[in-house]
Structure 1
């Protein structure tokens, strides 16, 4: 027996844009996001799931989540069916067809002379359209700002890793030079030891004749190798890292409107006002 069920908005909301899914795709980790949201995240240079951060294999395109896509279509159908019912004014019992721009609330025609006299009003559908347009514009701006921040962090990470690797190469070359110097000194010391041993194997008279020379060779000093400057300066790369990045981010961050407050305060200039 068929049963009616209602689709909740949480079931069909994208975890990235928080709006109803548009062309949902299924990731290998079983999470679903809008295709456009995923492409925006991946444009930042990291092919990871926006939720669990699991890496997605390169060269593969996530398939469409058909079950979720059908569920979204069902949700839109229910919304359209429910939108046909108009809400009545609690005071006059008339349909709410106007919107008061002063009090920021929907009203009926009888409310105008009684409660909203001299207030600027517009048609309800126009107000809904323009408010939604403003919210969408603000949402788009927020997404763009966060994408810019993500790109900044990605570039900052790449730059710091490149600097770390460059220093690693430099330190490695310095270490190799020092090791070559130590090897040369060890080779010279081995030659000296061999020469002294050869002198000691000579006959007594010959040994005594070259004794002073042999003693001078034996008195050579070997300095302790200086390996300073061969290790990575960890403090340089990690010291106050978060603070430094936050300072840079604060310098390039833009002001973002508070959606909850500003969406109801500002109406676009194109709203047709009814006086």
Structure 2
């Protein structure tokens, strides 16, 4: 079985490859049928290529079925152990489809070989001396086009790859080293360049996110202001429309009043006209009569009586002039009132923390950094001091009452809020990754802490010397912390009133920043309330 796995006995001594249709000579040696036939076709008389035994009559070649089956089995086993080459991988130059993944490339043969086709280079004495290397494509590119030798040297004078002949004939006065030596020297520099490139890519991607976030913030601000402005303009427009409708309605009512008067007078006039026309008809009939008695008996009184004197009758016209002016005056007063109300609405104080809160991050406390007597809640959002030992010592753990968050930041902006309600002492802010966690009394910007602290009703910039007291109208119940890493800014706010407490400006950050909390001692229960990382309402 070991022989089957090695495959040495399945190699044709003519083509140095696995047998194809293996045949046996009368002397007992095996060859590929095609290889042996071509050998005898070009040589006479017929001899065994291995032992040189002479055959006076050319033997009839028949396939050795047992050996053929064993070769087929070996190919199957070798194929199952080998992988079919994938896109981007070097494939064997001697495999028929599917091509297997190459294990080695030969600088002498300028070919790449899979496991089975590599066997001759591992077993045949004439091939063992060939230089093998990890599989690569385009083997011709690794040979000197002038001397047809492998490129093994690197000339540091003109920065080119050489073969040994190039070094002896054309680069005698130059400084050249083996490719591996130059590779080992350049690789760390390239790795550093790659890291720098990745860092710059990361920075630019973060900048893209920042710009996109700024655009989104701008759009949301536009939408909010547009909504507010449209409501104000709609209120003003509605006020104008109401005044317009009242103006038109007043004119129409005045006109209807005159129209009603006119209709009543017209009705009387029409009625009197009818009566006068009737009398005129009767008078005309009497005028045609010659009967003196009849004429005098029916002759009406002259002139006609009971009729209205219309000479002084006039319509009482409403004073239309000035109606528009009066309407506009009323509109002006209404607009002033509406304008004042809408100005109050659009000018009402907005949340001054709105921009910073857009950069809110979700933080959790890192128990691996917490002081041994700090108690951290299961959700990793709350911390307070306890008299019981909660953790064992470790290199990352603070000796002071501090705990870092798991999250760190090395660029961009971030914002978080901490509830300090019910506490009489506390410290919070951000710290550099390299702060001395075993040293006590260093909570100030000189030692890599940008923080504020609260003690006995007063808020201080820094908590250890030099600390500066701040004059605040009220003690904050919730503190917001905003950091702009690239601008070197750390600002603290009263999250409830959005008032700025203090800002560190012009900071020079060169490493990761971690938010940190220090609940201070519980002082017999008077300061037992926890510091709480709270969710930010955007």
Q: Provide TM-score, normalisation by structure 1.
A: 0.39
Q: Provide TM-score, normalisation by structure 2.
A: 0.23
Higher relative contact order (CA 8 A, sep 6+): 1
Identify the structure with the greater helix proportion: 1
Q: Which has the larger radius of gyration?
A: 2
Identify the structure with the greater strand proportion: 2
